[in-house]
Each structure stands twice: as structure tokens, then as C-alpha cells.
Structure 1
């Protein structure tokens, strides 16, 4: 039986987007995100983060910096009762022409294969048009563009 997923962009959805976040001290969770994601998980959603991290490709921070921050994020969310199923990131520069950088659907399609996700029954939440385009290119059934981090919790609760 296939699973249903809630695909989430990271910066601007899970946390306040301060631009090229690579340090633990700069990671600031969006208000209400833990409660909203616990609710989504309780309703059967696998929680999968898909994030462009071009700061790596631009040389602003290293893959090791990203991995250290990712470990912190996983621990922080777990400590708040949220089990993130998986996180996929694209480290490439926007001009690299890769298949994983949103608006291309590579990260979503890889997650669907690895976790047996029914894309048509799944949802993507993002804060940029490229998030929505990636979801559409992948065949995700619903894509929601958030315009403010203040309404993310209520959007997730209404799924």
C-alpha cells in the first residue's frame, strides 16, 4: 500500500528564511510548526522535506555545514514530537542544470520511489513558485503556496 506525503520546503516553511541558513543559531522554527506537523503525521502523512540549498554550490557554506545543521533540525523536531520521514536537498548552483533543483521534480520523484509515495494523494507546501512548479511537474495532487510564515500552521491543519 502506498503512503501519502506532505512535502515541505525548508526555509520559509519550517523556519524563518533569513537567507542561506547554515548555522544552528540562525535556524528559527516557524511559530506553530511542531503542532501542525504532529497533527499531519497523526492523520497519516509522511513528512518529507525537499529543499534547494544553493549556498553550498555558491560556496557560502559547505556540505558538512549543511549536514551539521540538518542533524540539529532532525533532533529539534524529534524533541518536539515530530518525526521527519526524510530530507532531500539540492546542493547545486542554480546554473548547474541538475535534475534535483526545484522547479525540477527530482527530489520529489526520488522520495516517491524510496518511500512508496502516492503523489496524486500527496501535498506540497512551499513559499516560492518553484516549489509549486516542482510539485506540479512531479504529479503531486495538491500544492499550496504560503505567503506568510504566520499562516503555515493553519494551512497544514486544514489538509
Structure 2
């Protein structure tokens, strides 16, 4: 199974400081939906792993989150692709749960769901905690410059800015302008390996 794991806010859709709270506020970044569809049509199973602390903080209800994910799923299907699944952590940052990134609990859940290992899969995110969750499970970390990506790039360049462990070296991380550019690279790399 060729698996690709995506963070949601700041990678697929525009992030908001006050949380994305409804399907109306769920606005895809240009080219991101098409990128997911292209990866899906090329035989990749694309899944989303997203922290959604806004649920625990009362910023939105579960029905709102489900409506956002229905919108995302429908948009990908309109482009001829499909999402393999959407995994989310509903907990507050203070809850010490096992699923909130940078902890790898959601990746464990993905492995259980698909009866596979996430090792060597691409994990595409815009924050340090995305990359850290991926690295802990042997994923290939990919950073996009959308969302919090530019800030994260600065954190990678200056190890003293990395607050959570494990420490990640900038050389470990592939960096792209956006999800569409990351998809271009992954698809070209897959072609090379198959030829």
C-alpha cells in the first residue's frame, strides 16, 4: 500500500487563528484538492491526520467538524479522487492524550485501520509537530510553506527554536511551496522508481 498522510489546516485548507469552525469557513488552498485527487488517481491512499483542539475548547461542535470533512471529501471526489480516511484528535492540548501530534497516536490508528506500517510513507505538514509525529514513526517528513510553514522553516533552521522533541534536522525534511508542488515531486519520484 502506498500511503500519504496529510495534515489538514494550513496544508489542504487555509488555517485561521480563531479555528476553522464551519464548512463555510473551510476554504481549500489553491491546487490542494486537485493535488489530493492526482495522488489518489496515481494509486496512493491519501489520509488526513489533524489535531482539532477546537472541539475540546468549544469553538465548534462535532457536527461542524463532520460537515467540514464531508465538504473536503466531496471536493476531492468532484476531481475524480478519494480520501482513504480522516483521522482527528478531538482533545485539549492539556489532556495528555496519545493522539495529539507530535505524539504518534493518530499514526498508530492509521496503521491499525489499514493493517500496514506508515514507515517510509510521506507525511506532509506545515508545523513542527506534524514533522515530529511523522519522524517518530519513520515517515518521510515533508514541509509545505503554506499555513505555518514559513515559521516552521525558521524553527528547523534554528534548533534552539524547536520546543517539542524529537529534534529534527533541516536536512531530513523535503520543503515545497504548497501541497500541489509536493504532489508533483511525489508523482515524479514514483514514476522514476517504476521505470
Report 1:84-99 matches (<5 A).
84-99=83-98
Aligned to 1:31: 30
* Cα 1:62–1:127 shift into 2, 3 Å: same
Q: Tell me the equivalent position of 2:181.
A: 154
Match of 1:53 in 2: 52
Could you report, residue by residue, the CA deviation over 1:18-57 in whole angstroms, capped at 9, with x for unpaired residues? 2311211111111111222222223321000000000011
Separation in structure 2 between the aligned mates of residue 69 and residue 38 of structure 1, nearest angstrom: 18
Partner Cα separation in structure 1 for residue 14 and residue 95 of structure 2: 26
CA distance in 2, matches of 1:114, 1:33: 25
Instruction: Quote the residue 1:41 is aligned against.
Output: 40
Q: How many pairs were matched up?
A: 156
Unaligned runs of 5+ in 2: 148-176, 187-195
Shift of 1:120: 2.3
Distance 1:70 1:152 in 2: 18
Q: RCO higher in 1 or 2 (8 Å CA, sep ≥ 6)? A: 1
Q: Distance in 1 between the 2:4 and 2:102 partners?
A: 17
Alignment-derived partner of residue 17 in structure 1: 15
- The corresponding residue for 2:192 is none
Over the aligned positions, Cα root-mean-square deviation in angstroms equals 1.5
* SS of residue in 2 equivalent to 1:21: coil
> Residues 102-125 of structure 1: CA distance to partner in whole angstroms, max 9, x if unpaired?
000111111112113332231100
User: What is the CA-CA distance between 1:59 and the residue it aligns to?
Assistant: 1.2
What are the equivalent positions in structure 2 for 1:106-121 lying under 5 Å apart? 106-121=105-120
CA deviation after TM superposition for structure 1 residue 137, in Å: 1.5
Question: Distance in 2 between the 1:66 and 1:109 partners?
Answer: 22
Structure ID, larger Rg: 2
Question: Taking structure 1 as the reference length, what is the TM-score of the superposition?
Answer: 0.91
Which stretches in structure 1 are left out of the alignment for 5+ residues?
A: none
Contact 1:36–1:153, Cα closer than 8 Å, also in 2: yes
